[in-house]
Structure 1
Amino acid sequence: MTPDANKGVMIRFTEFINTASETLAAELISPDAIFHVPGRSEPMRGPAGYLAIIQMMRGGFPDIQWTLEEMVAEGDKVAARFTMRGTHLGTFFGTPSTGKTIAVQALNIYRLSDGQIIEETGQPDLLGLLQQIGAVPGN
């Protein structure tokens, strides 16, 4: 697929992460996909693995939404910068609900094949998120 076609997949992927649609997961994520998640020694795998990532985020931030801010595509790869926004209404990384809102950047690199995501390396600003909910001291 062309870089522009891969960008189109990423726009649909943003719809998937905001809805956690199992139908979109099956359409957009290869069953063999690998997701490198910060803090985990083993990657998550396939559509079920990505749905588990979303559920983990929604456990702490039930209203979380991702905004795709920009993309750069070349060959089979897309770099995408997102802003995650939500309200801390559940326990997240051991921190009980604070009711605080977050706005956190994430920069992820995706590899695609035949219109599906086959790999993601994600780099969310986890420190910034933890600072915003008061789990670690801020500046």
Structure 2
Amino acid sequence: MASMTLEANKSIMKRFVVFINTANEMMAEELIAPDAVFHVPGNPEPMLGPAGYLAIIGMMRGGFPDIQWTLEEMVAEGDRVAARFIMNGTHQGTFFGVPPTGKKISVQAMNMYRLSNGMFIEEHGQPDMLGLLKQIGAIPSP
């Protein structure tokens, strides 16, 4: 039974990637529990539920309207899925106060998710913000 759950969680993770790449509101409602908690680096307060996750995606799309996440690998154990993504996009909007540069980014993210009843209930996201800010010229490379 446990392995079926792990396979189901991996399958749900693949649907989640489609969701984050499209910001489809119906998929948000389908995949994200209403009381889900999303821990965002640099944000003392977590984002909540489908609307919170759509807001996170909206913030990224504000700076990188063409941003796409590619799932490179994932590991599932119990109710958790660990995922490594590559985020690709073009800096066409202000991001963290940095005006658009037109530069392309390719940035890794390592995220840990918790699922329950086929829905996401928690995420700890760790995008490589240092790498991202270097790639748009916000901070100098050594």
**Alignment TM class, shorter chain as reference:** over 0.9
Q: Which residue of 2 aligns with 1:64?
A: 67
Structure 1 letter corresponding to 2:108: Q
Looking at structure 1, the residues matched to 15 and 138 of structure 2 have their Cα atoms a distance apart, in angstroms, of: 33
Structure 2 letter corresponding to 1:87: T
Aligned residues: 139
Q: Does 1:92 align with 2:101?
A: no
4+ aligned runs moved over 3 Å, structure 1: none
Secondary structure of 1:82's partner? strand
Secondary structure of 1:2's partner? helix
Q: Which residue of 1 aligns with 2:41?
A: 38
1:132 pairs, out of 106, 131, 135, with 135
Offset, 1:138: 1.0
Q: Does 1:103 align with 2:131?
A: no
Q: Which residue of 1 aligns with 2:24?
A: 21
2:82 pairs, out of 59, 79, 84, with 79
Looking at structure 2, the residues matched to 10 and 102 of structure 1 have their Cα atoms a distance apart, in angstroms, of: 23
TM-score between both structures, scaled by the size of structure 1: 0.99
Offset, 1:26: 0.3
Offset, 1:4: 1.0
Looking at structure 2, the residues matched to 67 and 35 of structure 1 have their Cα atoms a distance apart, in angstroms, of: 20
Q: What CA RMSD, in Å, does the superposition of the two structures yield over aligned residues?
A: 0.7
Structure 1 residue runs without a partner (length 5+): none
Q: Which residue of 2 aligns with 1:5?
A: 8
Looking at structure 2, the residues matched to 134 and 103 of structure 1 have their Cα atoms a distance apart, in angstroms, of: 13
Looking at structure 1, the residues matched to 141 and 124 of structure 2 have their Cα atoms a distance apart, in angstroms, of: 26
Looking at structure 2, the residues matched to 121 and 99 of structure 1 have their Cα atoms a distance apart, in angstroms, of: 29
Looking at structure 1, the residues matched to 18 and 111 of structure 2 have their Cα atoms a distance apart, in angstroms, of: 16
Secondary structure of 1:33's partner? strand
2:123 pairs, out of 120, 123, 137, with 120
Looking at structure 1, the residues matched to 85 and 110 of structure 2 have their Cα atoms a distance apart, in angstroms, of: 6
